[in-house]
Amino acid sequence: MINLIWVLLLAGGIVVAGLNGRIDRITPSAIAAAEMAVNLSFKLMGVMCLWLGIMKIAEAAGIIRLFARLLGPVIRLVFPSVPRQHPAIGAIVMTVSANLLGLGNAVTPLGIKAMQELQTLNRERETASEAMCTLLALCTTGFTLIPATVIALRAAAGSVAPAEIVGATWLVSFMATATVLTLDRICRRLFGARSRR
């Protein structure tokens, strides 16, 4: 589906350029955009290596384990259907920790691992469990303390103050997370009650 959307956008752009008599600008614009993308990737690579290095140091220093301990009670409250000692709890904690630290690219593999662990508890294999839906909602809106990826992108793009978005990120991500968790509970009560009838 996403490939179809991209093809339609590209074809639409070419048609509009042709209708406006600017077809000659397509090739130079595509080459310039590709060059900018490569330059941004190289700049981003350096900043991401720095952040990932800091995360490795934090992991070796035990800060990640401390995060996991602090998050444990909250995770058990948000995921009451998951047994306390089940490996899914550890996977969920790591996923939420990566989200809190703004490591969007690290959240995906951790989230997949957490979903696999939650699937072992799922009685209906063809339907997502309540815990799986909650995790998906939490990862989508995830509260972020340090928006490392966004800071890295802003720094790579030449921002004078790449970290100035931290306060706004806290506010928006907290509101989004609180909203999605509230809606998750409401939907559980509404649809859970219907399915039990």
- Tens of pLDDT, residues 82-139: 887 788 887 888 888 778 776 666 677 888 888 998 998 888 888 888 889 889 888 8
Residues 171/177/178/181 CA torsion (nearest 10 deg):
180
In percent, the amount of the chain with pLDDT more than 90 equals 5
C-alpha span between 177 and 122 (Å, rounded): 24
Domain residues for the domain of 173 are 53-196
Specify if 31 maps to a domain: no
pLDDT at 52: 67
What is the rounded average pLDDT of the residues 2-8? 87
Specify if 150 maps to a domain: yes
pLDDT of 55 over the 70 cut = no
C-alpha span between 165 and 153 (Å, rounded): 12
Specify if 171 maps to a domain: yes
Specify if 42 maps to a domain: no
138 CB neighbour count, 10 Å cutoff = 23
Which residues are CB-contacts of 99 (< 8 A; sequence separation ≥ 6)? 107, 138, 139, 142, 143, 144
Domain total of the chain: 1
Whose tokens are 């951790």? That residue is 110
Specify if 17 maps to a domain: no
Helix, strand and coil in the chain, % to nearest 5: 80, 0, 20
Specify if 182 maps to a domain: yes
Specify if 176 maps to a domain: yes
Ranges 48-52, 104-108, 144-148, 174-178, most confident: 174-178
Band of the pLDDT at 64, cuts 50, 70, 90? low
**pTM beyond cutoff 0.85:** no
pLDDT of 43 over the 80 cut = no
Specify if 13 maps to a domain: no
Residue with the larger pLDDT of the pair 126 and 63: 126
For residue 16, give both structure tokens: 């509009």
C-alpha span between 74 and 177 (Å, rounded): 13
Residue 121: closest CA among 93, 95, 96, 84: 84
pLDDT at 197: 44
What is the rounded average pLDDT of the residues 71-90? 83
pLDDT at 175: 92
